[in-house]
Every structure is written in structure tokens, then in C-alpha cells.
Chain A
Amino acid sequence: MSELDKSDNFFILNLSSDDDWINFGNNLGFDISKAYLKKIREYLKPVVKSVIVEYKYECKDYKNSYHNFYSKKFTEYNRKCSRAHFFNVEMDLENIWALDDKYKDNYIGYIVLRPLDRFSIGRTMLDPSLVGVKDATLFTCSNEVNLLGSTLQVQAFPFIGQDTDVTVCAHAAIWMILRYFSQKYNYYPEIKPFEIAQLTKDVSLGRLLPSKGLTMSQISEIIANYGMHPDLYIKNYSKANFDKILYYYIESGIPIIASVDNRHALAVFGHCTELNFQSLVEYDHKGFKYYNSADLINGFIVNDDNYLPYRYLLKKKIAGDKVSEYSHSEVDSFIAPLNEKIYLSAEEMETLALSVISDPNLGFKKHTKKFKDDKIILRMFLTSSRKYKHFRRRNPMYVGLEKFYIEQPMPRFIWVVEISTVDKYKEGKVIGEIIFDSTANKHDMFSFMYIHYPGFFLVNDRNEIGDAPSRFKVSEIALENITEYSIFISNLRRV
């Protein structure tokens, strides 16, 4: 029998037939639109085997909208939600009192269902590896859930649907990104939908509620008033490297709010894992020829609030499960929310890096002792110095070079330009890097802290502001001791 139990507070059901899914839709605690039920069923039917519906759930995000908006409407709205928890195995009734013992590895996650006639999908946390997402390198955060006395964990990127009153697509995308930050890092405050809507004071386009939409300028304002620093890019004014800059931020673990088709907002938080080496393009910067790892990516991972989470925004549109109706080329602008300690933007770092690597006195061609004739590929990203030192300790370089990185003080965030050959990159190896101080001014030509080419290691004393040669400690390493080493793997998760 599929229906296991029901009370005023819970409904527990194994989902093994279409009738079971109909039964699920009829027992949510209130009616939601058939279109949304169909959406949930089509998305989860391939993977879900059982569900526990938690009635009278006090959702902090919905309550925030309810108290500030819905409670003031003429129609009476329910104050409480339902929350549906999904598992990828059928349950036995006696085990529901020990969910964290019996089913913790089978917990897919949850969807909060709002008591709104339409747009019922509220806060949603679903593990991408358990809902059929493949070939994705993306960010997730951990969410702890209390259910029937058990504590369950889900690793997901937050998702929420717009409600078209308090929030539209832009608010939803902002919420997803800011909720990711507050779940992942405890120095970012948690913010709810109505609070997000209030963070813009620009009412020149009309009322903020009910919301008609947001401009990119208002989105920047919201990000800034939240306490982060928005960096705005419009494709028409950054054509040459718009896609690359977007990739650098994603590779850095910084989720992006992107506009597609000049009207719809997406949250971008990962990229396709499989690398397409056929798509590499050779660049030439003042005689230094190189490839860029940004060109290897087939597409990005996005949340589109018109659907359920995790969609592929591909360079070449194809039909397929979870493939976005938009292509990557339709991204016309984006905003990267940066931590306050990141002063050097991605395109400024890129400009400085290319200048250094092609410079007659500091450049790769002058100082490298190995791989001179190989095809060089560059990979650029931001990371915390703590993470980089930790990674390097576990993945050492040749002749103990990593110990200089580990020992030396660094700013909180660093830009890293990894240098490899195309062949070594395929093996997950690099041959050098240039590390930049993310708090540097773009006009500071010596904003690099380290330049490492095969057999050449330069340390720049960033506390020296003059031109004394002694600020640079330069060393060379014998050819026979030079080897490649592991590429930096960041906190992006592969599924």
C-alpha cells in the first residue's frame, strides 16, 4: 500500500504509480495549481520513491512576505505552508521515527509549498546529484533539516520561485544568491524576500510592491545595500571578453545574476564539467601566444525561477532534460556580487596578468626553463588565500615551493593565474602561476605577489612601494628538478 500514514501534521506516501502522484497532489494541505503539480511530478518522478509532507510548516521566507504584504490584502491568505520532503527509496512505516539512521543518504531534499493559488513553489533545496544533474561543476551549500525528530542534511544551491507580488524573477535570482552566501559563510546575514525588495530606494520606475520588475541598476543597489560590492557587465560594452569574465567569476565560486534576452533574470552558479578542447582559440598578447581555459566550457549551470532548479545554459542549444530555453549567447548582462576585500576586478586582473606574462623583463618567454615551445593555457580565478594554502599543503609543488606560499602572509583573497600546457591541463596538472593581491589598485603595476614559471620563482614584497630591486627576491631552480603539479581544485562540487 502506497499511503503509509496521515495525520493533521504529516502525510507519508510511497510514490510508485501515477495514482500515487495524484494522491500526493491531493494531500498538500491546500490546493495548488495543476500546472505546478505537473511541473513537480515531471521533475521528480524519475528519482523520487517516497515523500513526507509536513503540514502547517512555518516558512521564514513566506512569513516575511505574508506579514508585510499578503496579510494586508483583501483576500485571506493562509499563514502557513506545507513542506514536501523527498527520498529516493520507498519507506517502511516503522523507520519514519529514525529517518537520520535509516534514510539520511536517501534524502533528496525539500520543496516548500506556499498557499498561493499560483506560484506556489517556495524555498527549495534539492541535492543536484540526486535529481539527475550530470556533468556539472557547481556550488552548493549545506542545509540542516529537522523532520520527525531526525536531523537530515541536504547539499544544494538554493532555489525559490517568484510569487509575482513581492518578488519577480530578479528578486528570486537575488534571493538564491544571497541565501547561498548566508548559508555558506556565517558573516553574511540571512535575508528574506520582502527585505530584498526593500533594499532598493529607487522608486523612479513606480512602486516597489506589488513588484513589476527591477532594473539592473536596482539589482546593483540591492546587492550594495546588502553589504556586498556589485560589479556590473553589459555585453555591448565588453564584447571582447564578456564570456571570459563571467567564467572567471564562476570558476572563483562567485555566483552571478545574469540577464537573458534583456528581460529575464537567472542565477548562475556553475559550469559544465566536460571540457571541449576542440573549442580552444589561440590568443596573442604582445607576442605571447596562449589559450584560455574559459573557452573549454560548454555552458553554465543556472537556476531559472520559471522551472525547478538546475538547468544547463549551453553554448549550443540542444533539446534535453534540464536544458534551458536560452543559450549562453543570450546572456546580455550580469552582476557579480563581490566581497568587500576584492578591489581588483576580473578584467583588471586579466589585463595586469597578460602584461606581466608578456613583459620583456618579467615574462614567461624570458624566464621559463621548460615548456618553451609547448602550447600554453591560462586559467584565472579568485580564491581565499586560506583555501589556496590548504590545497597546496595537500598537493605540493616541486622542491617544496608550496611552503613559501603557505608560510607567507597573504590578503584574504588572491587572484591566481595558473599556467599550464594544453597536454598537462588535460591531465589536471599545471606548471606555474602568478598570484595577485586582490586588494591592489589596478594602477599598481607590481600588484603580483609571486611569479612562478618553470624554474623561476619571484617573490615581490608588497610592503615595499618604491622601485628598489631588493623588493624582488628571485630564485632559479635547476631543470632536472622541475615537474608539473596539481591544478587547484576549488570548492566547486562535481556531480
Chain B
Amino acid sequence: MPILGIEKNPFLKTKSIFNSSDDVQKTRLELEKSTEARFKEIDRNKSLAIDESRKKYLD
């Protein structure tokens, strides 16, 4: 029965996926690159939505 702490679970074998901080930073930058365009679109849409919301009248 696994007890507290990931290290103590006999079914889990520790491994590394990053060898250095540079590797981590490289992954971070790739994620930033892949999300950049979509986040810009979200921000632009939000701004347009706020303007539009002043005109949408529900009765």
C-alpha cells in the first residue's frame, strides 16, 4: 500500500526529462511560442466583446 510521498511508492520509478535549466527554459519558450497567437486573439476578442456588450440589450 503506497504511503505518503511519491518516492515511497514502489510502483513508481523516478526518471528525468530535463537535464538542465536550459532544457526547462527551452520547453518554456516553446510553450510560450505555441500559445502566443491564441492569447493575443483571446485578448483582442475580449476587448471587442466588452464594446459589444454595451449594445446588446435584453428585455
Contact = CB atoms under 8 A, between A and B. Distances in A.
B16 A263 contact: no
A457 B12 CA distance: 8
Contact of B11 (A232, A351, A400, A446): A400
B14 to A, nearest CB: 6
A340 interface: no
A75 interface: no
B18 A170 contact: no
B52 A234 contact: yes
Given A237-B49, A237-B52, A355 B58 contact: no
A403 interface: yes
Given A215-B58, A216-B56, A475-B6, A361 B30 contact: yes
A491 to B, nearest CB: 28
Contacts of B18: 361, 469, 472
A469 B5 CA distance: 19
A263 B11 contact: no
Interface stretch (A22-30, A373-381, A476-484): A476-484
A233 B56 contact: no
B28 A446 contact: yes
Interface in A441-464: 442-443, 445-446, 457-459
Contact of B59 (A169, A400, A404): A169
A355 B53 contact: no
A141 B44 CA distance: 37
A391 to B, nearest CB: 18
A285 to B, nearest CB: 9
Interface residues of A, number: 63
Contacts of B32: 443, 445
Interface in B5-25: 5-6, 9, 11-25
A424 B59 CA distance: 45
Contacts of A186: none
A217 B19 CA distance: 50
A469 B19 contact: yes
A351 B32 CA distance: 11
A407 interface: yes
Given A216-B56, A400-B2, A474-B15, A356 B31 contact: yes
Nearest to B44: A237
Contact of A259 (B1, B6, B16, B58): B58
Given A220-B53, A467-B28, A472-B18, A212 B59 contact: yes
Contacts of A403: 2, 4, 9
Specify which of B16, B32, B52, B57 lies most central, judged by the most chain A CB atoms within 10 Å of its CB: B57
A348 B16 contact: no
A217 B39 contact: no
A214 B18 CA distance: 53
Interface string A278-321: 00000000100000000000000000000000000000000000
A214 to B, nearest CB: 6
B31 A359 contact: yes
B9 A467 contact: no
Given A234-B52, A332-B56, A348-B42, 19 more contacts: A169-B59, A205-B57, A216-B53, A217-B53, A236-B48, A263-B58, A333-B49, A333-B56, A355-B34, A359-B34, A360-B30, A361-B27, A400-B11, A403-B9, A445-B32, A457-B12, A469-B16, A473-B14, A474-B16
Cβ-closest 4 pairs across A and B: A213-B59, A400-B2, A399-B11, A475-B12
